[in-house]
Structure 1
């Protein structure tokens, strides 16, 4: 492609609606959605940032509202093209540098933000297409970065579902969206109380394997080829007694150093990829 054609492609679109003031109502709405979990919950909306995240949200059939584009970084035509093969329609708005800097989580957000409708992540909405689903369960993870890493691990292993028991934050927290690199949109995700999640697993005849220090066997000695839920807790407190009482098998990752625990996302990755190895996918 010639330099001239590149310039034409990257030129700003004069036909787009433009927002240049940080006092614009849409700008204020985006800020509230980014900063306040209560607003996200009551409105059913959230803000996503980045071309990859927007592409994955469209793939996950999320309904997207206004798409804000800083054209000095990203040509509007490039974002509009993401919608070409989807039934989704959106309003595209060009924003100024001042507005972009006010809204973007970081300047490497690729010049695009969008308001989107969230989904209901209920246990009743989870379904399985195979007889031996592999599920990752995390109880009460607090750090958005850990939740994002858990979702990335589940996506990498193509887990059938991720379930958060006793969630401490909403799934559309900007830090979770950022750290998951859009994997929130690519996995079946559900939330519920520990009691509800245990009941769901038992109802669906899914074996519960809890990562725990007591009454445990090395993880690699356990058969994970059947319908299995790998359950992990926080590094600080581990799993609650309710999980341990209902566990079909406690498993442990043997360690040779001085500490007896690892980051929850690292532990989950070790366990889930052992399950994938046993299932012949590695």
Structure 2
């Protein structure tokens, strides 16, 4: 399990770690079948109720191992663990295998390197009903335990995929999905674009933003109005602002 801290091992084995009761519960609700579940009743807030998760995992074929508090804290990924640690298959499918609804709302994250940002993006995508989140030229993998933790497990409830920016653009074109790129270098604000129909919103890194390739491929470029001294928002925050404008328009 400790070896899964390394990306190479996660990619070779197709496995990652879920650390936490809420995260594991959401993964199970999304249909994930764990391979192994470590549990520690001493750390659980409600051992009787939360113990049902152990049985659910067992019913799905997982091996379950009860650990003492000391042993569990040695293998847990985070400080203040709540008694659940599981090995599960990594989330994600090939880009071409994403099953999209008609007129989907998609989020493209290009080059995001911080697991916390990817996790926060996934929580927003889950809350807003985004059809899929695609990592373009990814720096961080979907199986990164910190992505799983920051997403509160929504990496398993939102369809995700990874590909190069070139592949993502071609895929959007094949599906007739317009690309809206976020950038400070435009006069068009994010509320001035029509997000109805099939549309993908693209966000880039805080330091560099989207690449020239992504900006060139965009059907529209939008900015979020800024009146302070900084010229950019956290990538996850920017994604949330534009996504919810799209949701507002699409639900009206």
Q: Please classify the TM superposition score into its range, dividing by the shorter chain length.
A: over 0.9
Aligned-partner Cα distance in 1 for 2:135–2:185: 22
- The structure 1 residue matched to 2:180, chosen from 203, 209, 222, is 209
Flag the 1:82–1:56 CA change in 2: closer, same or farther, 3 A: farther
Query: Is 1:138 matched up with 2:93?
Result: no
Q: How many residues of Structure 1 are paired with residues of Structure 2 in the alignment?
A: 250
Contact 1:55 1:82 in 2 (8 A): no
Give runs of ≥4 in structure 1 deviating > 4 Å. 81-87
Q: More displaced, 231-240 or 255-264?
A: 255-264
Deviation at 1:85, TM superposition (A): 9.9
Q: CA offsets, 1:48-67, max 9 Å, x none?
A: 11121111111222221121
Aligned to 1:123: 95
Aligned to 1:160: 131
Aligned-partner Cα distance in 1 for 2:83–2:57: 21
Contact 1:136 1:230 in 2 (8 A): yes
SS in 1 for 2:251: coil
- Extract unaligned runs of 5+ from structure 1: 1-29
- The structure 1 residue matched to 2:197, chosen from 208, 222, 226, is 226
Q: Within 5 A, what are the aligned runs for 1:239-250? A: 239-250=210-221
Aligned to 1:62: 32
- The structure 2 residue matched to 1:90, chosen from 62, 80, 83, is 62
TM-score (norm. length: structure 1): 0.83
Deviation at 1:151, TM superposition (A): 0.7
Deviation at 1:78, TM superposition (A): 3.1
Aligned to 1:4: none
Aligned to 2:85: 113
TM-score (norm. length: structure 2): 0.93
- The structure 2 residue matched to 1:189, chosen from 160, 179, 195, is 160
- State the Cα RMSD in Å: 1.9
- Extract unaligned runs of 5+ from structure 2: none
Q: More displaced, 188-197 or 58-67?
A: 58-67
Aligned to 1:78: 50
Query: Is 1:46 matched up with 2:16?
Result: yes
Aligned-partner Cα distance in 1 for 2:232–2:56: 47
Contact 1:205 1:227 in 2 (8 A): yes
